[in-house]
Amino acid sequence: MDLDAHSDEDGPVYWRRRAMVLGGVAAVVALLAWACGGGGEQTVRPAGAADAQTPTIPVLPTVTVTATPSGTPKPRPSAEEEPTTRDGHCDPDDLVLTFRTDQTTYAGGRHPRLQLSLVNIGDRTCTYDTGPENLRVRIMSGPDRIWSSDHCTKGASLQKLRRGVPHIQTITWDRKRSTPGCPKTRPAAKPGTYVATAHLEGLKPHREVFHLR
């Protein structure tokens, strides 16, 4: 066998093989370089972008605004300290009077009971004279005056009236007539229809009708 002839024929093949091997090595190196460099397109995030999160809304405290007067107010007198009028007496406009009888018909010698209720609707406690000369009750039969509370009882009766607290006064009529001076002997009233009227200075009179049998 001619060795030189074989070497001459295989020379080009040899170099081609070496070139292919070198090319393959270069391709592998290039592939590794691409992989290490994070090849392919990368998603570019804008500056300052962060992972999507639900925004947190701050909770604000509740603010209560209270109006404060510019000056220090003077303490207001209580209802016990400041009367309705300067002299401490009740203003008639602040009083409410109610009047009633306990029955409408009295038989068998029963005595009528007349009840008066006086209420102070003012802002303050006050005093009022509920004596018979100021708070009068009269019993009439037609034009004839049968009985009056100021005939047999005199004098004042000052009462302290608190707001909304009724002052109740009950008068029991003995079914006898009365005259000024209140004599000891007084005639009895006859059976019939009578009108009892409560009079309070400054207020409208209140009337109740009842019958004696």
Q: Is the confidence at residue 62, as pLDDT, over 70? A: no
pLDDT at 72: 45
Q: Kindly state the average pLDDT of the residues 31-40.
A: 59
| 103-146 per-position pLDDT tens digit | 999 998 999 999 999 999 999 999 999 988 888 999 999 999 99
Task: State the CATH class of domain 92-212.
Answer: mainly beta
| 204-213 per-position pLDDT tens digit | 899 999 999 9
What is the secondary structure of 165-209 as a DSSP string?
A: --EEEEEE--SB---TT--S--PBPPSEEEEEEEEETTS--EEEE
Q: Is the pTM of this model over 0.75?
A: no
pLDDT at 37: 59
pLDDT at 12: 60
Q: Is the confidence at residue 74, as pLDDT, over 50? A: no
Q: Is the confidence at residue 34, as pLDDT, over 70? A: no
Local structure of residue 89 (DSSP, 8 states):
B
| 75-110 per-position pLDDT tens digit | 444 544 444 455 589 999 999 999 999 999 999 899
Instruction: State the CB neighbour count (10 A cutoff) for residue 57.
Output: 6
Model confidence band, residue 66 (pLDDT cutoffs 50, 70, 90): very low
Instruction: State the CB neighbour count (10 A cutoff) for residue 90.
Output: 24
